[in-house]
Structure 1
Amino acid sequence: MSSTRAERRALAKSGIPRAEDLSQPYPKRLLKRPLFWLSVVMLVVYATLLVLLYRQVVPDQQVPGGRVVGLGTEAIPIAAKYAALTVIPLTVAFLWADRFRPQRFWVWLMTFGWGACVATFVSAQINTWAAGHLSIVGDGDPATGPRAAIYVAPFVEEASKATVLFWLAILMRYQWVSRLTGIVLAGLSGAAFAFVENILYYGRAYRYAAQTFGEVSPMEALQALAFQRGLLTFFGHPLFTAMTGIGLAIALRSKSKVVRVVAPLAGYCCAALLHMLFNTTASLAEGSMLLIIYFGVALPLVALLVVFIVRQEFREGRLIRERLIDYVRVGWLPADDPARLSRLRTRFKALWHAVFLGPATFLATIRMQRAATELAYLRDAMARGLIDQAGLAREKALLATIRTVRPAAVIAPVGRAAYPRLRRRAQQAAPAFPPPTYPGPAGIGGYYPAPNYPGQNPPAPTAPGGVPVAGLAPLGQTATQYSTVDPNWKPPEG
């Protein structure tokens, strides 16, 4: 077996990506990526499941013995607008948290699409089937209504949302460098699931209010439900799925086989338990008890997750700085790089300065920051024993990338960015005056100063070559010149 084949097998075993051949055009390199074709296939699957879910819940369905009223085409656009008010801020917040080692766009897209299309479709089928069986067993007892929401939905929905996390962990375990990665991807899947679920709930409330005669209009019913689900309890699904993401991230960054098995299972069980408690409270608790659980349990859990994310941001910055210092000690990086490349504020300021210096500088700055971050996490994985000698080749490639892009990248931004200046309108030039002469034309003053006048006494100084020096004409009595007097002149006679 050749060394090249052995190296490829070692890289594949560790999950380390191979360096691309940049000499080839980008479309050709894109078509050779397996993840690109996987993304195309998954997008087709997402679209298919979304259409099937639409046909299942939107139009009215004829069933034996009657008709099941659907959501209707009128309610879907209105419900989608209100559901977007929740999912957009959540998505931006999770992407903002993933700043040290942001994932590729296709990873975010696949995760969001899975939660919105696959997880919702699978959960709708299983939950509907389970609710029907539990209702039949209960002989129509109203107490059997919450059973599916309490005992079935938490496990089904958390499993369907978290499945994409396990697939991504298998395909790109090298990119799972921190617990922030698990929280961000899990949060995106949970937010997308909540987005589609809210559309179904809002549309159902709108259609029900439109078909019943009461004091509440369809818009008022939709807005009341949107206030409860979209504002008061918007954190539900992202919070639950984040537990699975944290457990999976712990497993991927641990060398222990026991931790690699137990941590994801513990995270999933924690997510299902929180989901079960949430559904139980929403189904059974009322009045003051509901307020106590909301303010005493739910909001503190959200606050703890936010504090955990903020602490992880600082922790990742320290990790990058400490690992890059290892390369400073051996002379492979300048002494100032660890501090500059581990501070989010400095990194963002460098990108902001690079924006106004041209596309080449901006791309070089992005490549510089990504290469330095990946180098730090690679060093940490090698120190933990997660990656063997196969990481040395990737380490050399990252160091070569840093040396190549450093001259064009912005690393230590100083002062203000090079903002483009608005061009002022050119002012109209003043009209040109004729050159000064001595003693000048008729009138007071004439043109002063003036060059030398022939015959003046004393003569004005001249420059080399005999050229009169302007502005040095004589002043006073010597400057006065009189015309010749005609002695025969006399006043005209009467």
Structure 2
Amino acid sequence: MSVASSERRAPARGDRRTRRGRTSAPDDRRALSRNGLPADVDPSVPLPKRLLRNRLFWVSVAVLLGYVACLLLLYRQVVPDQEVPGGTIPGLGTEALPIAARYAAITAVPLSLVFLWADRFRPQRIWVWLMTFGWGACVATFVSAQVNTWAASQLSIAGDGDPATGARAAIFVAPFVEEAAKGTVLFWLAILMRYQWVSRLSGIVLAGLSGAAFAFVENILYYGRAYRFAARTFGQVPPLEALQQLFVLRGLITFFGHPLFTAMLGIGLAVALRSKSKTVRVVAPLAGYLAAAFLHMAFNTTASLTQGRSQLFVYLFVALPLVVGVVVFVVRQLFREGRLIRDRLVDYVRVGWLPEGDPAALSRLRTRSKAVWHALFLGPDRLLATLRMQRAATELAYLRDSMVRGLVDEAGTRRERVLLARIRSLRAAAVTQPEGRAAYPSLRRRRTAGAPGGYAPASYPGPAGLGGNYPAPALTARPPGVPPSASAPLGQTATQYSEVDPTWKPPGE
């Protein structure tokens, strides 16, 4: 080999060493993906092309198609009458379905809004909420209906058997089947977007949405059956009254059942995702699932085997205290997450990367809400910048917490730089520490200069003077130097006297 050829190839080897020493963009993306960290999108790539390359987009499309299929199959199974050997099984019917849906929505809509309100520090994206709600309403109800029906047929006893056999499926099968069906979506979300599960509140909110959706469809089935049974049975209460009686029991008194049960699994998954211990990551979700199934089993047992005072005792001294305990737990978690955000942002204040006022302003829900309210009256750009800065600061705090816990590797440092740069770029336009009142729009009328169009200026005395409504006629006598278009001055110069007729006298003299 000649010297010239070796000299020409030497820079190539040096370039390869340089490339090996640096980290390329694909390597950065792989490192971020390995830790579950999001990568910034390339704005130069068109939106349709980004969607086609996004795996979450295709997962969402497939899941939506599955939701539609399960909902149609469930509709065909429960709404029309079913012909079976030996007779006909009446369905809900098209008349009872919309009535039952309206009563079921009275509970489902406010309950879902409460769960969405609780997810305030770092709320999930809208499509995550919709996917979770759709899973509980479509997939979980369809799968539970098939498995529970099959299990009930296997546990039933033909002939003169045990009269308590009818409750076996509700006590021993339905709790495990339904909690597994509702909680499956939580495991999928934990796999796809574990970085967004930053607290126990995230698990409670997503689990509560799945449980509320499941209860929504299940209540439609129960309300519709009660309505149809009362309509087909002679001598019973009116159909609407029968539906309302069941609505009071399921929709008002025990509305918290399914969301409360599934919340146990959500808490277990959240604990597992925020822990570095492999044992905790395995035991916590399993413990959450068993707790949800046990609570569901106890609820069904009480509803099936107790009546009267015993049932009221269990409701007042067991069920309601449990619900109050969960509410207190959620409120405490809100304050705990605020303290966590403040403590983690203080780390960046100590090194001079954030101002001293940011931790307190960005960790209080009242201050954050007030900042959004002030930005709302400053224009859409200020509002959008405020929302983005709050979200970036919250993500930065939780990222710092993950780095302290050892849940992410050095890829977290790259995401940290991106978030800090985003906060610096948004600071000028965002409202961070609101003071005083918001810039409300003025509702006062603007005073117009001059008289209305088409009218002469007001003149005194006259109809358009003080208290007048129409332009005054021009005065015949004006002081010297006053133009005809100007108003007459007040005082003695404004007083005009008519001529006196010396021949005038009272009539008859």
Same fold by TM-score greater than 0.5: yes
**Residue from 258, 261, 268 that aligns with 1:240:** 261
Instruction: Give secondary structure in 1 for the equivalent of 2:83.
Output: strand
Matched, 1:396 2:429: no
Matched, 1:3 2:23: yes
**Any unmatched runs of 5+ in structure 1?**
435-440, 451-470, 472-494
Residue aligning to 2:12: none
Residue aligning to 1:387: 408
Cα-Cα RMSD: 2.1
Following superposition, the deviation at residue 447 of structure 1 comes to 6.1
Q: Could you say if the C-alpha distance between residues 409 and 76 of structure 1 is closer, same or farther in structure 2, counting changes exceeding 3 Å?
A: same
Following superposition, the deviation at residue 160 of structure 1 comes to 0.3
Residue aligning to 1:291: 312
Q: Could you say if the C-alpha distance between residues 8 and 427 of structure 1 is closer, same or farther in structure 2, counting changes exceeding 3 Å?
A: closer
Residue aligning to 2:479: 446
Matched, 1:12 2:33: yes
Residue aligning to 2:139: 118
Q: Deviations over 1:416-471 (max 9, x none)?
A: 2222233626547234489xxxxxx985x826899xxxxxxxxxxxxxxxxxxxx9
Residue aligning to 1:308: 329
Residue aligning to 2:351: 330
Aligned-partner Cα distance in 1 for 2:447–2:145? 68
Q: Could you say if the C-alpha distance between residues 336 and 133 of structure 1 is closer, same or farther in structure 2, counting changes exceeding 3 Å?
A: same
Alignment of 1:84-95 (within 5 A): 84-95=105-116
Following superposition, the deviation at residue 355 of structure 1 comes to 1.6
Alignment of 1:235-384 (within 5 A): 235-384=256-405
- Determine if contact 1:83/1:230 at 8 Å carries over to the other structure: yes
Instruction: Give secondary structure in 2 for the equivalent of 1:189.
Output: helix
Matched, 1:169 2:190: yes
Q: What amino acid does structure 1 have at the position aligned with 2:61?
A: V
Aligned-partner Cα distance in 1 for 2:223–2:441? 47
What is the TM-score with the length of structure 2 in the denominator?
Answer: 0.84
Residue aligning to 1:481: none
The structure whose Rg is larger is 1
Deviates more, 1:424-433 or 1:252-261: 424-433
Instruction: Give secondary structure in 2 for the equivalent of 1:408.
Output: coil
Aligned-partner Cα distance in 2 for 1:205–1:306? 32
Following superposition, the deviation at residue 63 of structure 1 comes to 1.0
Aligned-partner Cα distance in 2 for 1:155–1:8? 39
Q: Deviations over 1:332-388 (max 9, x none)?
A: 000000000000011111111112212111111111000000000000000011111
Q: How many corresponding residue pairs?
A: 445
Aligned-partner Cα distance in 2 for 1:132–1:387? 49
Matched, 1:421 2:442: yes
Following superposition, the deviation at residue 39 of structure 1 comes to 1.1
Aligned-partner Cα distance in 2 for 1:105–1:26? 18
Q: What amino acid does structure 1 have at the position aligned with 2:128?
A: V
- Determine if contact 1:323/1:379 at 8 Å carries over to the other structure: yes
Aligned-partner Cα distance in 1 for 2:458–2:324? 77
Residue aligning to 2:427: 406
- Determine if contact 2:108/2:216 at 8 Å carries over to the other structure: yes
Matched, 1:216 2:237: yes
**Residue from 154, 173, 185 that aligns with 1:133:** 154
Following superposition, the deviation at residue 394 of structure 1 comes to 0.2
Aligned-partner Cα distance in 2 for 1:55–1:62? 12
Instruction: Give secondary structure in 2 for the equivalent of 1:331.
Output: coil
- Determine if contact 2:230/2:236 at 8 Å carries over to the other structure: no
Aligned-partner Cα distance in 2 for 1:392–1:273? 42
Alignment of 1:138-153 (within 5 A): 141-153=162-174
Following superposition, the deviation at residue 44 of structure 1 comes to 1.2
Q: Could you say if the C-alpha distance between residues 260 and 138 of structure 1 is closer, same or farther in structure 2, counting changes exceeding 3 Å?
A: farther
Q: Could you say if the C-alpha distance between residues 274 and 433 of structure 1 is closer, same or farther in structure 2, counting changes exceeding 3 Å?
A: closer
Residue aligning to 2:501: none
**Any unmatched runs of 5+ in structure 2?**
1-19, 460-474, 484-488, 490-509
- Determine if contact 1:354/1:362 at 8 Å carries over to the other structure: yes
Following superposition, the deviation at residue 28 of structure 1 comes to 4.0
Counting aligned pairs with the same residue, the percent is 71
Q: Could you say if the C-alpha distance between residues 422 and 28 of structure 1 is closer, same or farther in structure 2, counting changes exceeding 3 Å?
A: farther
Instruction: Give secondary structure in 2 for the equivalent of 1:214.
Output: coil
Q: What amino acid does structure 1 have at the position aligned with 2:200?
A: R
Q: What amino acid does structure 1 have at the position aligned with 2:383?
A: F
- Determine if contact 2:378/2:439 at 8 Å carries over to the other structure: yes
Q: Deviations over 1:17-61 (max 9, x none)?
A: 111123444444344322122112211110111010000000000
